[in-house]
Amino acid sequence: MKSNWKLLALMALLSSVVTLAAYNLLGFNNRDVILNEASPIQQITGRLASMPGGPSAAPGDFSTAAEAVTPMVVHIRTTMTRTVRQQQVPDIFREFFGDEFGGGQRQPRRQQGQASGSGVIISKDGYIVTNNHVVQDADEVEVIMTDKRSFKAKVIGTDPLTDLAVIKVEANNLPAITLGDSDALKLGEWVLAVGYPLDLESTVTAGIVSAKGRRIGILDQNISKTDAKPDSPVEAFIQTDAAINPGNSGGALVNLRGELVGINSAIASATGYYSGYGFAVPVSLVKKVSADLLKYGNVQRGYIGILPIELNSTVAKEKGAKIGRGIYVESVVEKGAAEAAGLKKGDVIVKMEGQPLDSDAQMREIIGRRRPGDVVNVTVNRDGTERDFKVELRNRNGGRDVIKKSDITAANTSLSTLGASFEELSAQEAKQLGVTGGVRVKKITDGKLAETDIEEGFIIVKANGKNVKTTKDLQAIMSTVKEGEGLMLIGMYPNSSRMYYYAVPV
């Protein structure tokens, strides 16, 4: 079934591309950002409304929520410029026709494109949450309100691992949405999707919650291959059958009280258009990620320090587990949070924060809402007996402190100038190519590599005379290159034994 999901996918991230040619106070820049959040009483009332005998307000009437929320969802247009390299003209044509034919070194050209998505106003003073893929690589971001006002927006922070971003417009007294409780959502509950699909005006569609905690694997492409410690995406989507299409990205999924319960992000489709199911990031994650982006500039992630395996009857039999559901602890990280708390290889985590644990996606969402230093209550089954542990989450460096954005980006600054994503060769690939290791240029977007003749798929084995086996090696070499100096890359293409030499101006 998992492979079938991947075959579908154009499981499309929903930005539409048009090619040309009670309150939370969050400290930010010495000021407070005020977000509306439904009070516990409102949330309890909402639950009662869905229970037999509870208070009810015209079941199936979507108009109140739709009218209230529509002004709070905005249209986002982005402009991006990318380098497009001209096709190499064969030597034989240059010999006969010379530079008149377009010979000489091929020159990169700049091409401009536009994309369209949606966003949700979360504060009266202009903070807006949307998807990372809506504003990723954008040179300009424009926000258009339902009353046709237009603003230039600044990207405050992005998080590819949850596909969320926060942007800001200079405006006051904007209609801000109330943040609801995605944990309270029930299967079969009515929800509304609000956004700007297919570059249309504001559009509202209705559906029900089809599933919760759904992992579809679409965010795996957002993992940074340049990171020495790549993180796993946090996918625990709300699945709905409310019709959404390209352009709905970053728009609101709301309950019938008009409270935000999710940010629409993806569809499962072989065509890229709606075919029955949509997926939204739950507001429980939206709250935490947006709060971190506003306060710290990056997401503060807590790590439990285990290698998890999701159990089913087959895996349980293979591992010799006493039960068939939960998260099997394949190993614990040395000096990590789990080891410090007393967890061991072979334990099965059956509950986290009191919630029965059935999936890896569910566990990642629970941990994803917390920061380093937070304590998580964990119940494990050890040899048939349940035991409770308190696990204090650690940061990516094994500590409990806040990791500033500058600390994370500093290590990737040099590689980012190359304008490409990289991946390391597996041991088997290296053996087949007759090398001890190497780094493949997976995708060239913009930057220094786009100005050279390097093609995607090129395997770097040396840089400035030093062996390159990992992205960490390449990063280390890049960090020694001074401004104005060059980088000499030596490597090969998969189907060629010839070595190629490329000079990259850095």
| 300, 304, 306, 308: CA torsion to nearest 10 | -80
Residue type, 452: T
Q: And the tokens for 348?
A: 């099965």
DSSP string, 415-475: HHTT-EEEEEPPHHHHHHHTSS--EEEEEE-SSSGGGSS--TT-EEEEETTEE--SHHHHH
85 contacts 108 by C-beta, under 8 angstroms: yes
486 contacts 506 by C-beta, under 8 angstroms: yes
Annotated active-site residue 75? The verdict is no
Choice among 159, 163, 292, 360 that is catalytic: 163
Cite the annotated binding site for substrate by residue number.
133, 163, 247-249
Choice among 15, 16, 133, 182 that is catalytic: 133
310 contacts 318 by C-beta, under 8 angstroms: no
Q: And the tokens for 193?
A: 């999707």
Q: Could you tell me which residues come within 8 angstroms of residue 301 by beta carbon, excluding any fewer than 6 positions away?
A: 231, 368, 371, 372, 395, 396
Long-range contacts of 52-58 (CB under 8 A, 24+ apart): 57/256
Three-state DSSP class for residue 294: helix
Q: What angle do CA 433, 437, 443 make, to 5 degrees?
A: 85
Choice among 249, 284, 359, 414 that is catalytic: 249
Bridge partners for 211 per DSSP: 239
CA atoms of 302 and 305, how far apart (whole Å): 9
Annotated active-site residue 163? The verdict is yes
Long-range contacts of 355-362 (CB under 8 A, 24+ apart): 357/326, 357/327, 358/325, 358/326, 359/213, 359/215, 359/310, 360/215, 360/308, 360/310, 360/327, 361/213, 361/214, 361/215, 361/235, 361/236, 362/213, 362/236
Three-state DSSP class for residue 309: strand
Cite the annotated binding site by residue number.
133, 163, 247-249
Annotated active-site residue 56? The verdict is no
CA atoms of 406 and 408, how far apart (whole Å): 5
CA atoms of 26 and 355, how far apart (whole Å): 28
| Residue 437 CA: distances (Å) to CA of 433, 454, 472, 493 | 9, 19, 12, 14
Active site residues: 133, 163, 249
